[in-house]
Structure 1
Amino acid sequence: MSERRPAASPSDGVVLLHGISRTARSFRRMELALDDAGFATLNLDYDSRRKPLDALAEDIHPALDRFAHSLDGAVHFVCHSMGGLLARVYLAQHRPARLGRVVMLGTPNGGSEIADRLKNLAAYRAFFGPAGQQLVTRRDAATSALLPAIDYPTGVIAGNRSIYPITSIGLPRPHDGRVSVANTRLDGMADHIVIRTSHPWLVRNRDAIAQTIAFLHDGQFAKTR
């Protein structure tokens, strides 16, 4: 976990939530760009492969609550992949009083077709743990209850390139190698954009970073030609 503040403390802050099997280091380039844009940042590590989403939400709450209360302004969220689902669960349970905007990058809001195919394999279950079982497209009632309809401004960034020629076979096109563009969409979202990059590189892609900052500032993505 890293928490950064510019010399002149800004009023708004951003919580970064990485994806499953990743770490806060994956968000390092995004974190530095947000710092340069004038936001305080909290880049959280969490044990993504060991617990289900509701337990992970409780794990991140103490640090996130302290961060939110330290700000004079709003707390925003920037999330990669499953981190977006974790943010949705967290905000349903512990919504900050001054919630700002949420950006999701490659989040399987409609579930992951790859998780559908692999969920019963012992190796998948052992590696991705309980949360990996919650990434499927057909969610059980308990998981669906954790993810109610959103009522906060959310922008979704999807990728449309793959670096996984084998495991992405059968994914509905376009996709980023892990999640179809269609399944990144979320009812009630404020904006949606597709970037020419793959799932793991969404957090490092220059355009994705610029669009993330644009949405945090303006509530919409910058228009591209």
Structure 2
Amino acid sequence: MARRLLFAILLLQLCFALAVAGLAVWLGGLWGWSGPGWPAALLLGLASVVLVRLVISGNNFRMARRAGGAMLPQHRLTAPAFLRMFAAEFAASMTLQSWTVLRPRTKFHLSGKDAATPVLPVLLVHGYGCDGAYWSRLARLLRQAGASYMTVDLEPMFGGIDDYAPQIEAALQQLCAATGKPQAIVVGHSMGGLAARAHLRAFGSARVARVITVGTPHHGTALAGFGPGLNARQMQRNSEWLAALAASEQPATRALIVSLWSHHDNIVAPQDSARLPGAGNVELAGIGHVALGSHTDATRFVLDEICRISHSFVVTETK
């Protein structure tokens, strides 16, 4: 469903660009001048789409900054650094929504040497309003590292987060059976991290070696109020669902989780909502929400953590 919706949004943007181009040509003829011509008019239309997307992205940063409270001096960005971060986040968002999600992708990759490789298989869980294509960068790194992985497309798109737990369990069963490994590492971006925690509550940790959450609003986000669906309401600040999830977790469950987050997240606000007590917490700076899935620092940490967890698992198994 996410792919169809994003494709529909892409078509809507194309229609908007064509409408702007047609309007420019029509106004040129109406006012008695040659106008920009269709090639230039089409460029104008595409530029209009980019401008609208820039405004939306800028507004997200503005709202997240206002909801985030005071920024500690060591995390404040200079104007050039902020512009670089904004450009990277905008590029990541545009690439994901206008190109990556529309391309064919490998949802299930077996390394071909599962019995020999020390790297545990990885289940990749996307966030709100997206699908498994979000992980294209990390998936490529996992293939290079010789790891098996699987992406899951959570359905329904705007359903309750608890509805995703059985889908994660089914994917884990399939991944572990195919690789011959008893457990896998779950990596969840944004809402995907909450879905991974909901899975632990419903099914336990028998098939889960570790959960790595990336930019996950563990305590909710002020921007969730602008999204449709039950899952968006569950991610609102101080929601009953988040409180019940936290109350259900034992210290041993939290110890399985590593939370990676950015002080400059433009969707999770306040940004430290991603800090989860009792879990391992890793802070980054100068990275936006969508860019966490492709930024070198974030993907390097996730890959290193997967290798570290896998090594610990192998050492424990051989004792």
Sort the TM-score into its range (normalised by shorter chain).
0.7 to 0.9
Paired amino acid for 1:139: S
Whether the 8 Å CA contact 1:17–1:24 is kept in 2: the answer is yes
Q: Which of 285, 289, 304 matches 1:199?
A: 289
Q: How many angstroms does 1:157 deviate by? A: 1.5
Whether the 8 Å CA contact 2:220–2:242 is kept in 1: the answer is no
Q: Which of 260, 267, 272 matches 1:157?
A: 260
Give the corresponding residue for 1:94. Answer: 203
Q: Give yes or no for the alignment of 1:34 onto 2:123.
A: no
Inter-CA distance 60–155: structure 2 relative to 1 (3 Å threshold): closer
Partner Cα separation in structure 1 for residue 242 and residue 280 of structure 2: 24
Q: How many residues align?
A: 195
Q: Which has the larger radius of gyration?
A: 2
Runs (4 or more) in structure 1 with deviation over 4 Å come to: none
RMSD: 2.0
Whether the 8 Å CA contact 1:15–1:78 is kept in 2: the answer is yes
Partner Cα separation in structure 2 for residue 33 and residue 88 of structure 1: 25
Q: Could you tell me the percent identity over the aligned residues?
A: 24
Q: Which of 64, 78, 82 matches 2:172?
A: 64
Per residue, is there more helix in 1 or in 2?
2
- Runs of 5+ in structure 2 lacking a partner? 1-105, 310-319
Whether the 8 Å CA contact 2:126–2:189 is kept in 1: the answer is yes
Q: How many angstroms does 1:95 deviate by? A: 2.6
Partner Cα separation in structure 2 for residue 193 and residue 215 of structure 1: 14
Give the corresponding residue for 1:178. Answer: 267
Inter-CA distance 139–100: structure 2 relative to 1 (3 Å threshold): same
- Runs of 5+ in structure 1 lacking a partner? 161-174, 220-225
Partner Cα separation in structure 2 for residue 94 and residue 42 of structure 1: 19
Paired amino acid for 2:232: G
Q: Give yes or no for the alignment of 1:212 onto 2:302.
A: yes
TM-score of the superposed pair, with normalisation by structure 1: 0.78
Give the corresponding residue for 1:136. Answer: 236
Partner Cα separation in structure 2 for residue 48 and residue 81 of structure 1: 16
Tell me the secondary structure at the aligned position of residue 293 of structure 2: coil
Partner Cα separation in structure 1 for residue 231 and residue 271 of structure 2: 21
Q: How many angstroms does 1:73 deviate by? A: 4.6
Whether the 8 Å CA contact 1:54–1:90 is kept in 2: the answer is yes
Q: How many angstroms does 1:195 deviate by? A: 3.9
Higher mean C-alpha deviation, range 177-186 or range 94-103: 94-103
Partner Cα separation in structure 1 for residue 306 and residue 283 of structure 2: 14
Inter-CA distance 76–138: structure 2 relative to 1 (3 Å threshold): same
Whether the 8 Å CA contact 2:125–2:189 is kept in 1: the answer is yes
Tell me the secondary structure at the aligned position of residue 133 of structure 1: helix
Paired amino acid for 1:40: S
